[in-house]
Amino acid sequence: MRAPLKAAVLLAAMVLVSFTGVAAQYFEPAVFVNVDEVEGLVGGMIPAGGVENLVVPVRFINIDDARTAISNGFYFARVGGADFTGVVGEWNPGYPWDWPHAMELGVYPPYFDQGIFTNPFTDGSGFAGLTGGMGSGLPADFDGVAYTLTLSDVTGTGPTDAIVMDSTWWLPANYWLWSGVAADVYWGGPYTFDFEEGPSGCETGPFTTCWPQPTILKALENDKILNVAIHCQDPAEVNFSSILVQGKIPPYTANAPYIDGDSIVTDCFIMRFLGSSGFRPIPPEGVHTTYIVTYNLNDGTPMSLTGDYNLNVSVGDVTLDGVVNADDVVFMSEYFWNKGQMCEIEEFMDVDWNGRVDIRDLQKIVELSGL
């Protein structure tokens, strides 16, 4: 859209809201922190016999301004009989965090010229970086894995065991610190890593899981693809061409479905979880529902499994880029006044959750965007 036209659309939307008496009091997160693809999981779960290392990548998505100081901490809790021997944190060597990393990569200046720090503590680790007069800070458009946390000698006895990852503060800051950000840091957790049922625990039959959980649209980039796994089902007994997720034929990627350890993994588009029962509003607390996987055994026996699904949402994010801003206002204005397209996930356009898309949804987006 040409800049003058975009400005005109924004002005029209602002004039519209000025007559409604709506006050802009809500701001979307400026930073997203979530877990990326975890190494050591099979179909989104820890293998029943455990794993030597569980590597958990922590991903930053920085929306607007450079961050000259950051301090974050994470810890892992044992549930049931789950156990691990330690947690080791490591910065991703692919970015110029400090002078040594910058010199190794030949990229100057570093993000944090005063240094980066890793502080291990019982069952967790803290990370921090500080910029002085020569560092750039974490770039405004940064989107990548910042560091990993590796759990060693991970063990468990069955599906009642789990490891839960959550955020925590660590000394000396005593809280999560992001320069220029107060309460606008979005943490995607807590994350629960369940154990598969062992061979002796599959008497209850096959079951299904999907990943990532909870789902964050921004973390899925532009493909909006989820992994769906079938556990405790002998792959040799399954007709792979019959596998359906929410009644439709996957996959969306070339290698799915495939065998991963003792599980069958396929994938599906996120719309399978949102549109299967028709249009419905998506509330600010997100979507907490179930999904169905069906398939046939080679002898013709039909199978149907039900799993849990959770989606975290950014209310008003109709462009699905992880933030509510002027682009969302323009998108909705184009839809109403210039026969523009609908959001890829139609339900996101019902911003005020009244069951329909109308001009009041545009008013709500203007409010949420802080314009």
| Residue-level pLDDT at 19 | 45
Report domain extents, the chain.
3-28+315-369, 31-194, 205-312
Closest CA to 71 of 11, 25, 131, 26: 131
DSSP helix/strand/coil, 16? helix
| Residue-level pLDDT at 218 | 67
Q: Which residues contact 342 (CB under 8 A, 6 or more apart)?
A: 335, 349
Q: Which residues of the chain, if any, have pLDDT below 70?
A: 1-29, 170-175, 180-184, 198-201, 218-223, 249-252, 254, 271-281
- CATH number listed for the domain at residues 205-312: 2.60.40
**Is domain 31-194 annotated with CATH 2.40.128?**
no
Question: Which of the 8 DSSP states describes residue 95?
Answer: S
Tokens of 313: 């949402």
Q: What is the secondary structure of 28-88 as a DSSP string? A: --SEEEEE-PPBT-BTTBB-TT-EEEEEEEEEEEE-SS-BSEEEEEEEEEEETT-B-SEEE
CATH topology of domain 3-28+315-369: Type 1 dockerin domain (1.10.1330)
Question: Which of the 8 DSSP states describes residue 342?
Answer: P
Q: Do domains 31-194 and 205-312 have the same CATH topology?
A: yes
Pairing of strands 31-35, 185-187: parallel
Q: What is the secondary structure of 188-240 as a DSSP string? A: ---EEEEBPPPGGGGGG--EEEEESSSEEGGGGTTT-EEEEEEESS-GGGEEE
| Residue-level pLDDT at 290 | 85
| Residue-level pLDDT at 255 | 75
| Residue-level pLDDT at 220 | 64
